[in-house]
Amino acid sequence: MGNPTAFLRLNRESSLSERPPAGRVADWNDFHAGLDEQKLRDQASRCMDCGVPFCHNGAMLSGMATGCPLHNLIPEFNDLAYHGHWEKAYRRLARTNNFPEFTGHVCPAPCEGACTLGNRHSPQPTTIKNVEYSIIEKAWSEGWVLLRTPARRTGRTVAIVGSGPAGLAAADQLNALGHSVTVYERADRPGGLLLYGIPNMKLDKRHILHRRIAHLQKEGVTFVCNAHIGDAATGPGLAPSQLLATHDAVLLCTGATQPRDLAVPGRALGGVHFAIDYLTAATRALLDGTPGNPRLTAKDKDVVVIGGGDTGTDCVATALRQGCRKVCQIEIMPGPPASRQPGNPWPEWPKTLKTDYGQEEAIALQGADPRTYLTTVKALSGDAQNRVGGIHTIQVQWRKNDKGQPVPVEQPGTEKELPAQLVLLAMGFAGPEQNLPKALKLDTDPRGNIKADFARHATSLPKVFAAGDCRRGQSLVVWAIAEGRAAATAVDAYLNATAAK
């Protein structure tokens, strides 16, 4: 523990790492600005090196992770960063996290929710995520991120389907163990939702994501893009049975990519899109060098985002950058409380109101938080060309039904119509697509996720493994990395066992 009294003298400072909202909406660059080194070391010094550091626990409490699912050695790297031992801090961080630059940008930081400094009336947890991000950026700029090219190859081959964080983490681990890894990705570029999902201003594609993928390629990982496994139309050799025949093990990391739909009159009107299609179009246009000309645009439109979660926030921030007339966000659930409630004690993840980067930007430009809670959609109305023009809403209250389950009850007299020429559906995801599990006849759970126990990752079919959102349902980047690492250990054990026979 570097400075035993720092947490008493110094306040948490987290917003220092972000550019001012009103200015940053004029570009697509990273909205993080970085901390200066002295301030960062001061922040790291607030870590109390607790006897029981809940921050790196990663256990499930009340259905959510408390602490870091990767079990990052947080008090240790905080202390090393405080003392300016950056290379050692990086080595400590790299033991548990393959891609700290991803989590350092996009992780909601369950570690900070579990920090002991958050266990008080006015919580001020250590700024762990900023420290993590600064350590890895320093490591890249100082040349400490070395290639993990294996000294010898085992001669065993692994096919990984899907190049999101789970697939990338598994590829990194298996390649370092000497196995020959090929990652098959149906999109035109690798990255999964790190690429076509999370927008560029939250995770820079060229500097952060491509840098890591190029590093993996140099280490020996092969990427095959435009390869839709299970879809014969995309080329020979890509049928699931052929993949099984040509590799010693197959790891499915295909994500939970089925978006939830909205069953209301007017859903089929033009201008109503899934959020993921809209976000993908914005990023693809940016990468193609035409950010002002995406396939779907919010320019000069009234935009309504249905869904108050992270995907909705990304849509708000994207629409503002595209020059929308106005953007608002509708959420059926009640607004979270400002502080922890008695049923949500520390070190559980705090279910409190957060104003994320997209909302901050809307407040700066439009003068108010774009979110409206306890509101649902009754219908969408269109014009003569069958394009959406308005959205009809009503307020709800949550009540228990006969079975004791909470249900939304519409409140008569609260109907409203909002102008909307672009409606974005950001209501979460309903599990993985079923074509590949069906083609391989894999067992699935009641939610349609591929059945495989965490840490074993073996599916019902020999030599086929599953990890990430396709196994656990739509989750977080940090969980996907944790799953990819655990699955790599399981695949390696399987390869070693079958090699010995």
- Cβ closest to ligand SF4, residue 129 vs residue 156: 129
Is 478 a residue that touches ligand SF4 (CB under 6 A)?
yes
Is 189 a residue that touches ligand FAD (CB under 6 A)?
no
Is 240 a residue that touches ligand FAD (CB under 6 A)?
no
Choose among ligand FAD, ligand SF4, none what residue 326 binds, the Cβ cut-off being 5 to 8 Å by kind: none
306: Cβ–Cβ under 8 A, 6 or more apart, which residues? 262, 312, 329, 330, 377, 423, 424, 425, 426, 427
Total Cβ atoms within 10 A of residue 83? 15
Is 216 a residue that touches ligand SF4 (CB under 6 A)?
no
Is 310 a residue that touches ligand FAD (CB under 6 A)?
yes
88, 94, 97, 100: CA torsion to nearest 10: 70
Q: Compute the least distance from the CB of residue 405 to ligand FAD, in Å.
A: 27
- Cβ closest to ligand FAD, residue 452 vs residue 478: 478
Is 165 a residue that touches ligand FAD (CB under 6 A)?
yes
Q: How many residues bind ligand FAD (CB under 6 A)?
A: 39
- Pairing of β 388-400 and β 180-184: unpaired
Query: Near ligand FAD by CB under 6 A, which window of 44-52, 57-65, 253-261, 446-454?
Result: 253-261
- CA dist., res. 463 & res. 499, Å (int): 13
Query: Near ligand FAD by CB under 6 A, which window of 162-170, 338-346, 375-383, 410-418?
Result: 162-170
- CA dist., res. 193 & res. 151, Å (int): 32
- Cβ closest to ligand SF4, residue 45 vs residue 78: 78
The string of DSSP codes covering 166-217 is HHHHHHHHHHHTT-EEEEE-SSSSS-GGGTTTS-TTTS-IIIIIHHHHHHHH
**Greatest CA separation found in the chain?**
72
Task: Please give the DSSP secondary-structure letter assigned to residue 451.
Answer: P
- CA dist., res. 150 & res. 175, Å (int): 7
410: Cβ–Cβ under 8 A, 6 or more apart, which residues? 376, 394, 395, 396
Choose among ligand SF4, ligand FAD, none what residue 109 binds, the Cβ cut-off being 5 to 8 Å by kind: ligand SF4
Site string for ligand SF4, 284-303 (x = CB under 6 A): --------------------
Is 468 a residue that touches ligand FAD (CB under 6 A)?
yes
- Cβ closest to ligand SF4, residue 49 vs residue 369: 49
441, 444, 450, 453: CA torsion to nearest 10: -120
Phi, psi angle pair for 131, to nearest 5° = -65, -45
- Cβ closest to ligand FAD, residue 3 vs residue 97: 97
Residues within window 101-160 making contact with ligand SF4, judged by CB under 6 A:
103, 107, 109-111, 128-129, 132
- Cβ closest to ligand SF4, residue 130 vs residue 393: 130
- Cβ closest to ligand SF4, residue 75 vs residue 358: 75
Total residue length of the chain: 501
Total Cβ atoms within 10 A of residue 455? 11
Helix boundaries (H) for 255-356: 275-287, 310-321
- CA dist., res. 133 & res. 222, Å (int): 27
Q: Please identify which residue in 30, 132, 137, 469 interacts with ligand FAD, judged by CB under 6 A.
A: 469
- Cβ closest to ligand FAD, residue 248 vs residue 469: 469
Choose among ligand SF4, ligand FAD, none what residue 128 binds, the Cβ cut-off being 5 to 8 Å by kind: ligand SF4
Site string for ligand FAD, 201-230 (x = CB under 6 A): --------------------------xxxx
Site string for ligand SF4, 63-82 (x = CB under 6 A): -----x-x-x-x--------
Choose among ligand SF4, ligand FAD, none what residue 317 binds, the Cβ cut-off being 5 to 8 Å by kind: none
Is 253 a residue that touches ligand FAD (CB under 6 A)?
yes
- Cβ closest to ligand FAD, residue 48 vs residue 487: 487
171: Cβ–Cβ under 8 A, 6 or more apart, which residues? 160, 181, 183, 216, 221, 484
Helix (H, G, I), strand (E, B) or coil at 355: coil
Choose among ligand SF4, ligand FAD, none what residue 70 binds, the Cβ cut-off being 5 to 8 Å by kind: ligand SF4
User: Minimal CA–CA distance to 200: which of 323, 287, 308, 326?
Assistant: 287
Residues within window 91-120 making contact with ligand FAD, judged by CB under 6 A:
106-107
Contact by Cβ (8 Å): 448, 254: no
- CA dist., res. 128 & res. 130, Å (int): 6
For the record, the structure tokens of 316 come out as 């708000």
Residues near ligand SF4 (CB under 6 A): 68, 70, 72, 74, 97, 103, 107, 109-111, 128-129, 132, 478
Residues near ligand FAD (CB under 6 A): 106-107, 161-167, 184-187, 192-193, 197-198, 227-230, 253-255, 257, 276, 279, 310-311, 314, 436, 468-469, 474-478, 480
